[in-house]
Structure 1
Amino acid sequence: MATPLIQFLDQLAAQRGQYQYRLPSRPDAGQFIDQLMRLLFPVTQDCQSAAANVGETYQRLNSQLLCLLRPLQPNLDTLPEAVALRFFDALPGIHADLLLDARAIAENDPAAISLEEVIAVYPGFYAIAVYRIAHVLLQADVPLLPRMLTEYAHGQTGIDIHPGAQIGPSFFIDHGTGVVIGETTIIGENVRVYQGVTLGATHVAKTLAQKKRHPTIEDNVIIYANATILGGHTVVGHDSVIGGNVWLTESVEPYSLVYHQSKIEVRSILQ
């Protein structure tokens, strides 16, 4: 007679064939991202060894990406090798965009000492970098892995950017903790976002999955801490400033100043 444990193990074995997708491991995905960042921006060095030859590093990363893609092969429209080739062909463009992002942070944050500091330690830059890498894989119709990569960055930084979002160059996230950028968000050029900002949806029904649910932020907009902007029809016009703690569910014209007005009283506890 089978014990409850044996029955449970048999149940797990039977479930293996029922899953629609097989995925790579999260540690492997994180290792790929971190090694790719070291290739793109060799401003840090492992304490145990000197940086590897660039060509050798590329070959290792290519092998790692193929390993990540292999479990997903039944769900790919093409071979993993073709996906990897397309990804690495896009790498110069990713690098160029990320340099613009890093410079935007270095030039706009008074606390930033250098470009190298931004690249090495700023969580906002790291989250943007992983998003741009994942976005290219999503454009290559790779399922699930792009989200796995951005969720890895989410865990490292507290910044949640869906790989499906469309984000223009020179993007700046300051501090960053608690920032949420939804799947159908569109962000223009030279946009600055502070901690706690949510670019989200007003409705989360599954039937809206293929609809634009998240806002559009035009060029040169600044969104200060803890502002919440919701809705697929909400457009923040270019060169606008959205103040801290604003709750916005309707469009605003270019050059708008939107702020939350609150009353604060200060009095002595001795009165």
Structure 2
Amino acid sequence: MNKQSVIDQIQKNKRNPHLKFRIKEKTEEFTRTLFYTLFDNDTPVPENINLLEKLFEELADLVCWSPDKPCRDIWSEYLEKLPEILRKLNEDARAMAVNDPAANSIEEVYLSYPGFYAIAIYRLSHEFYNFGLPLVPRLMTEFAHRLTGTDINPGAKIGTPFFIDHATGVVIGETAIIKDNVKIYQGVTLGALYVDRKMRSVKRHPTIEENVTIYANATILGGETVIGANSIVGGNVWLTASVPADSMISHNPQINIKKAAQK
């Protein structure tokens, strides 16, 4: 097969006219700029708000290929929501600083906590998800996922404050509901019992009520599963059914210890 034949075959099989990786690159640029605008003290807010509007318009032109969806119109409404999003994120950060004995300062939380970064990008993407903006909210949270190891679908509904400690390996599904003052540790999964395209519009992921703590590597599955308020879910627990408020759920593994033979 000569070079021209290879080129022809590749071009023939590029079947998605709207698949442009510039969308991903532009989304990541927009996400970084948005984060710096809200949190970095050296970043000028007025100039960056104008820059963000320009970046968003470029993104909207790339992702809104349906003529009946005027995506650019979303920006002014989204902009009005930024102060409230920032208020929630500052509350998240304060909760981390107050409750984590490893936190030496509030600045440390903003600068180094992967859980905070993942929550920040989730909250910023969630409003775009609510507006029905295609692709961008998911690409925003996937950018944070790549950086932090924390996978929060932008469709999840999460109260304030929310604390993810250590963060790596956390998965929160699209229809999960997490109410106020919830704390989860690394490796926690809030997932679906099974994957089926027919369940697209069905609640597939659990509900976590107020003041719940979920320890490392716990797995909670199912759209009808509710963890009652003030409960503690221990490490490595596997749950597919609801538990009442004020519960303590633990996993008791069988551990066999064999004493080494004396030499």
The interval holding the TM-score normalised by the smaller chain is over 0.9
Superposition deviation, residue 164 in structure 1: 0.6
Q: Is the 8 A contact 1:134 1:163 kept in 2?
A: yes
**Residue 128 (structure 1) aligned to one of 114, 119, 122:** 119
Counterpart residue number, 1:244: 235
Measured in 2, the distance between the counterparts of 1:267 and 1:17 equals 59
The corresponding residue for 2:183 is 192
Alpha-carbon deviations, 1:85-109, whole Å to 9, x = none?
1211111111011111111111111
Give the conservation status (yes or no) of the 8 Å contact 1:181–1:199: yes
1:201 alignment counterpart? 192
CA gap of 1:77–1:136, structure 2 versus 1, over 3 A, is farther
Whole-Å separation in 2 of the counterparts to 1:76 and 1:194: 43
| CA deviation after TM superposition for structure 1 residue 226, in Å | 0.2
| Cα deviation 1:33-87 (Å, max 9, x = unaligned) | 12211111125xxxxxxx3432111111111111122111223754333111121
Q: Give the TM-score, by structure 1 length.
A: 0.90
Identity level (%): 45
Q: CA deviation at 1:19?
A: 4.0
Q: Offset of 1:137 from its aligned partner?
A: 0.5
1:167-186 to 2 correspondence within 5 Å?
167-186=158-177
Deviates more, 1:94-103 or 1:6-15: 6-15
Q: SS where residue 172 of structure 1 aligns?
A: strand
Q: Does 1:164 align with 2:162?
A: no
Corresponding residue SS for 2:251: coil
Q: What is aligned with 1:48? A: none
Q: Check whether the contact 1:22–1:72 (CA below 8 A) recurs between aligned residues.
A: no
Matches within 5 A, 1:1-271: 4-14=2-12, 18-19=16-17, 24-43=22-41, 51-75=42-66, 78-271=69-262
Residue 155 of structure 1 aligns to which amino acid in structure 2?
A: R
Distance in 1 between the 2:230 and 2:171 partners?
21
Q: CA deviation at 1:9?
A: 3.0
SS in structure 2 at match of 1:192: strand
- For structure 1, which segment, 24-33 or 91-100, has the greater mean C-alpha deviation from structure 2 after superposition? 24-33
Aligned residues: 262
1:24 offset after TM fit, Å?
Answer: 3.9
User: Within 1, Cα distance between the matches of 2:258 and 2:84?
Assistant: 56
In structure 2, give the amino acid aligned to 1:172: F
SS in 2 for 1:136: helix
C-alpha distance 115-216 of structure 1, shift in aligned 2 (>3 A): same
Task: Return closer, same or farther for 1:135/1:41 CA change in 2, 3 Å cut-off.
Answer: same
CA RMSD of aligned residues (A): 1.9
CA distance in 1 between partners of 2:195 and 2:78 (Å)? 31
Letter in 1 for 2:215: Y
Q: Distance between the aligned counterparts of 2:110 and 2:207, measured in 1?
A: 27
What are the superposed Cα offsets for residues 91-131 of structure 1, whole Å, 9 maximum, x if unpaired? 11110111111111111111011111111110000000001
The amino acid of 1:197's aligned partner reads V
Q: Helix, strand or coil: the match of 1:229?
A: strand
Cα distance change on mapping 1:91 and 1:57 into 2, 3 Å:
same
Aligned-pair distance for 1:7? 3.8
Amino acid at match of 1:9: I
Question: Which moves more between the two structures, 71-80 or 94-103?
Answer: 71-80
Contact 2:37/2:43, CA 8 A, preserved across alignment: no
Instruction: Specify the SS of the correspondent of 2:253.
Output: coil
CA distance in 2, matches of 1:20, 1:67: 14
**Cα gap change, 1:18 to 1:121, in 2 (>3 Å):** closer
TM-score (normalizing by structure 2): 0.93
